[in-house]
Structure 1
Amino acid sequence: MKIAVDAMGGDNAPATIVEGVERARDEQQAIEFVLYGDENQIRPLLKSDERISIVHTTEKIEMDEHPVKAVRRKKQASMVLAAHAVKDGEADAMFSAGSTGALLAAGLFIVGRIRGVDRPGLMPTLPSVNSDSGFVMLDVGANADNRPSQLYQYAVMGNFYARDVRGIKNPRVALLNNGTEPTKGDDLHQQTHQILAAAQGLNFIGNVESSSLLDGAADVVVTDGFTGNAALKAIEGTSHTLLHEIKAAIMNGGIKGKLGGLLLKGSIKGIVQKFDASRYGGAVLLGLQAPVVKAHGAADATTVYYTILQIQAMVENKTISKVIDYFAEHGVDSPTPTQD
């Protein structure tokens, strides 16, 4: 397979991008990479150009640019060229750590939306206490608001991904809400609950509250983009703060604190590893005609590496093709809500 890489996207590009790509290249013999970006910066970083080619361009999309305008005006930007490679069949998938908004625009306007999917959703994989595979949640920010039918589409796509890529045979699908009762929430959530409850082929387990997410209450969590983004940032911020406070308590606890930290070193390391988001890869823009995956702007080489493995699994399992076939067969209509 061939993966198109926006080598200039991200806070530490192209260094971390090249390092992560080379690690994946060295371990996965079936993958070829095309790096789009400034060859004068990329070439000196490469240890070997085996199965790696460079398409030179000095133009890139900055994080503070208007996403749609940047994609339309900067025809030679590294992200735009990588998206065109996927659109033209020159690559099977695309990776970027650049602007989320610009990547969404490039995905929509260049790669193209799956017929039957109204709006692509941004879907990360997040850690959970009771599961090594974690859980996926979408949408977490690609759309500010959604309709019930769009949340149903997210459930279908997330279900395919959890089975094909995460290896979960019968994923538990839940709706993020402010209570577990079916009647909880606003009209959007009540109508979505009815639709998901009536859907065939989904193991819908009902509503889930944000307090239960990290406990592994579900494998696929469906939500609107506004709520999902707020929940994601709350999880990230809380995890970062807790780990920082644990470290500070050990370091500032005198001899007893340091001794206790030494005794608990193995346990603490296990917790850190479990909640290390880098090993879960990037966030997928589900709903596009090909795998388009976004890593955090501050992603390190390890995150890039795991994101490449994530993309490899999507391509090998033909996950996007299955989603395309599903919506082609079932049309754009969501199931009829159940009546009270």
Structure 2
Amino acid sequence: MGSTCVRIAVDAMGGDYAPGEVVAGALRAKEELDVEVLLVGDPQEIEASLPANASLNHVEIVPAEDTIFMYEDALIGVRRKPKASINVAMSLVKQGQAEAVVSAGHSGAVMGAALLRLGRLTGIDRPAIGAIFPTMIASKQVLVLDVGANVDCRPKFLEQFAMLGSAYSQYVLGVPKPKVGLLNIGEEDCKGNDAAVRTYQMLKENSHINFVGNAEGRDVLSGDFDVIVCDGFVGNVLLKFAEALGNIVLQILKEELPHGWRGQIGTAVLKPNLKNIKQRIDHAEHGGALLLGVNGICVIGHGSSQAPSIFNAIRMAKEAVDHQVLQRIQSQYQSLQHESG
């Protein structure tokens, strides 16, 4: 599918290193990707973050008068601050002035703003945050959802997550028939709590999902699954553990490489391999997680995102737009409703 120039609203005030790192990542995306970036936030702070050789002709700034901070209650902040940067960014998508939103700010506020301004896709009860994990197979990734949007989930919600994840895996990651697994404490269909057992049965009976069974914790990164569903509590713990594990592996590699001239020679020889390792296990290389199930493309970045992560989050948003994820998911659900009717 040919790519087109995509307009992406970036919450310039969201994240621990905003707006400086956000602006730097957005400028790189504008240069290297076929995108138009709308930086949403305090114009003075954004302009102060621009490098000396950048002019206002290179970026478009959309003013926002407020910010929702990490310590604030998400829904209260979204409702009481209608002119906060994340609300303004979501409104740009709602009004058709942008095709996607990227934010490394308060994840609860991002989800709340998306629900209030964009709404849910028809047939979806709860949106889910989907994160991409590396696997033992070099060319393969696994999509895990939910990783934080819904702490408690009914079996019906998990079934919808499987549908959303399958569509994203198929149309964006290029997997013809995604293999779906349910994260559980054992492979047998009787394992887990009551919700897990009922979810297993629902996934098994859904002919539109290529459900291949339960996935234990050791299976998540095996490459045996393309999509793994779980509730947001477990998924968020899994996500942060995987991020920490990746950082530990990278740190061990740095510490164990020889020092001095031998280390310099070894590093030079291994440089392509080390780069590939970093790309596979460093969460910054993936950029963020897609909020699936809302009526708009929205990528939520890590709160500690720096310029590389912001760049990759924008790339992820562009890929979702280019591959018409929203339209395909909506079409899929309309077909299901027609069949059931």
Is the structural similarity TM-score above 0.5?
A: yes
- Distance change in 2, residues 1:249/1:332 (3 Å): farther
| Structure 2 residue aligned with 1:188 | 195
CA distance in 1, matches of 2:299, 2:224: 25
CA distance in 1, matches of 2:45, 2:88: 17
Give the SS at the match of 2:133. strand
Q: What code does the residue aligned with 1:25 have?
A: K
Which of these residues, 28, 32, 35, is aligned with residue 33 of structure 2? 28
CA contact (8 A) 1:116 1:332 kept: no
- Kindly report which structure 2 residues correspond to 1:1-340, keeping only aligned pairs within 5 A, or say none: 1-29=6-34, 31-46=35-50, 47-50=54-57, 52-250=59-257, 262=267, 265-266=270-271, 267-331=273-337
| Structure 1 residue aligned with 2:3 | none
- Distance change in 2, residues 1:228/1:37 (3 Å): same
* 1:32-52 CA-partner distances (Å, limit 9, x unpaired): 222111111112434244563
More deviation in 217-226 or 275-284? 275-284
- Distance change in 2, residues 1:186/1:257 (3 Å): farther
Give the SS at the match of 2:221. helix
- Distance change in 2, residues 1:96/1:255 (3 Å): closer
Q: Identity rate of aligned residues, in percent?
A: 37
CA distance in 2, matches of 1:235, 1:257: 31
Deviation at 1:319, TM superposition (A): 0.6
CA distance in 1, matches of 2:261, 2:59: 52
CA distance in 1, matches of 2:241, 2:92: 36
Give the SS at the match of 1:11. coil
* 1:233-259 CA-partner distances (Å, limit 9, x unpaired): 2222222233334433447xx889959
CA contact (8 A) 2:246 2:282 kept: no
Q: What code does the residue aligned with 2:152 have?
A: D
Which stretches in structure 2 are left out of the alignment for 5+ residues? 1-5
CA distance in 1, matches of 2:14, 2:140: 27
Give the SS at the match of 1:113. coil
Q: What code does the residue aligned with 2:10 have?
A: V
- Distance change in 2, residues 1:90/1:260 (3 Å): closer
Q: What code does the residue aligned with 1:32 have?
A: E
Deviation at 1:58, TM superposition (A): 3.7
CA contact (8 A) 2:243 2:283 kept: no
CA distance in 2, matches of 1:205, 1:257: 48
Runs of 4+ in 1 over 6 A off after TM superposition: 254-257
Deviation at 1:136, TM superposition (A): 0.8
Deviation at 1:327, TM superposition (A): 2.1
More deviation in 225-234 or 236-245? 236-245
Deviation at 1:324, TM superposition (A): 1.7
* 1:94-153 CA-partner distances (Å, limit 9, x unpaired): 110100011111111111111211110111111112142411100011111101111010
* 1:22-77 CA-partner distances (Å, limit 9, x unpaired): 11111233x22221111111124342445631112341111111000000011111
Equivalent pairs counted in the alignment come to 331
| Structure 2 residue aligned with 1:337 | none
Which stretches in structure 1 are left out of the alignment for 5+ residues? 335-340
- Distance change in 2, residues 1:256/1:19 (3 Å): closer
Q: What code does the residue aligned with 1:42 have?
A: I
More deviation in 106-115 or 126-135? 126-135
Deviation at 1:261, TM superposition (A): 6.4
